[in-house]
Amino acid sequence: MTGKRRTRLTVLLDEIRACTRCAAELPLGPRPILAASATARVLLAGQAPGAKVHASGTPWDDASGDTLRAWLGLDRAAFYDPAKVAIVPMGFCYPGKGKSGDLPPRPECASQWHGTLLPLLTGVELTLVIGSYAQDYHLGSRQKPTLTETVRAFREYLPAICVLPHPSPRNRPWLAANPWFERECVPAIRARIAAVISSRTSGS
């Protein structure tokens, strides 16, 4: 059964990476960026690649990624090991620039791919829900009225889900205004990730 799931997953990932559905709407053209395997224990559910990530083809290969890895307590080797960590954003391609930052993720990705892809990630024990668009999708009615309230209530979603703000440099004012996040939330996230990844390493 596991072999069939992995085969289906490999085929699906190839289809996603070849997708051109939104080509006419993407200023830099399509380049779907994600990483996944059936053995991954941690799922990173973010928003969409930025321009630097589009250029490199490596997810979270920017300042936001540096901050995220610091929050998670993961080095690049662990972060980019698809056997440990799956990276499935709400939008797979860079959506372009808006007036105050990148545009929202294209909605076509979730509607076309997520419903088929996520059930194939059968090893996931912890989902990191990063930013408001991912929270809308993965939490739905379980969200609080604001992102800040949702993140502050992080204990309610553990052990299966960790909620985070987006680690973009644009969010530095939010982090300065909410010091409890790095004081309380970050250590809890690191501990949960370490437990999940070490359980895989030990084969339990």
Q: Which residue's entry shows tokens 């380049």?
A: 31
Distance, CA of 152 to CA of 164 (rounded, Å)? 9
Q: What is the CA radius of gyration of the chain?
A: 16
Residue 164, phi then psi, degrees to nearest 5: -135, 155
What six digits make up the tokens of 77? 């080797």
* Digitized pLDDT (tens) for each residue of the chain, 204 residues in all: 444 545 799 999 999 999 999 999 999 999 999 999 999 999 999 999 999 999 999 999 999 999 999 999 999 999 999 999 999 999 999 999 988 789 999 999 999 999 999 999 999 999 999 999 999 999 999 999 999 999 999 999 999 999 999 999 999 999 999 999 999 999 999 999 999 998 655 544
Q: How high is the pLDDT of residue 73?
A: 96
Contacts of 98 (CB under 8 A, 6+ apart): 104
Distance, CA of 147 to CA of 24 (rounded, Å)? 32
pTM of the predicted structure, to 2 decimals: 0.91
Q: Is 103 exposed, middle or buried (0-12, 13-18, 19+ CB in 10 A)?
A: middle
Spatial contact of 196 and 44, defined as CB atoms under 8 Å apart: no
Distance, CA of 64 to CA of 47 (rounded, Å)? 12
Domains of the chain: 2-201 (3.40.470.10)
Spatial contact of 37 and 9, defined as CB atoms under 8 Å apart: yes
Q: DSSP assignment, residue 25?
A: G
Helical H runs in the chain?
Answer: 2-17, 51-56, 63-72, 76-79, 108-109, 115-117, 132-139, 147-152, 172-177, 180, 186-201
Q: Is 73 exposed, middle or buried (0-12, 13-18, 19+ CB in 10 A)?
A: middle
